[in-house]
Amino acid sequence: MKNAHDIIRRPLVTEKSMGLAERQVYTFEVAGDANKIEIAKAVETVFPGVKVVKVNTMWVPAKRKRFGRHVGYTSKWKKAMVTLTEDSQQLDFFGQA
């Protein structure tokens, strides 16, 4: 069994993802070999008091980057959009007291 913190790498904090957070949909970068069931259990473990309704996953493709005359690629990575129940508490990524 994998550790929950190994499955969920980091939350994605963008303008679009913060807009979705108002509708209880949160976006995370996750491990590439993690499946939807493992992601749901990891979110419920890392953030107590939440219940996951569904998980949507997708692969973000590698992008071409140039460094002068040299060309390389960024790594592809897996993104998960996790929908929580309406009565779940909101997740606090910024640690506001």
Instruction: Look at residue 1 in the predicted model and tell me its pLDDT.
Output: 61
From the list 6, 11, 5, the residue with the least C-alpha distance to 81 is 11
Instruction: Look at residue 92 in the predicted model and tell me its pLDDT.
Output: 81
Instruction: Look at residue 61 in the predicted model and tell me its pLDDT.
Output: 98
CATH code linked to domain 4-84? 3.30.70.330
Instruction: Look at residue 96 in the predicted model and tell me its pLDDT.
Output: 61
Q: Per-residue pLDDT for the chain (97 aa), expressed as one digit of tens each?
A: 689 999 999 999 999 999 999 999 999 999 999 999 999 999 999 999 899 999 999 999 999 999 999 999 999 999 999 999 999 888 887 776 5
pTM score? 0.88
Instruction: Look at residue 59 in the predicted model and tell me its pLDDT.
Output: 98
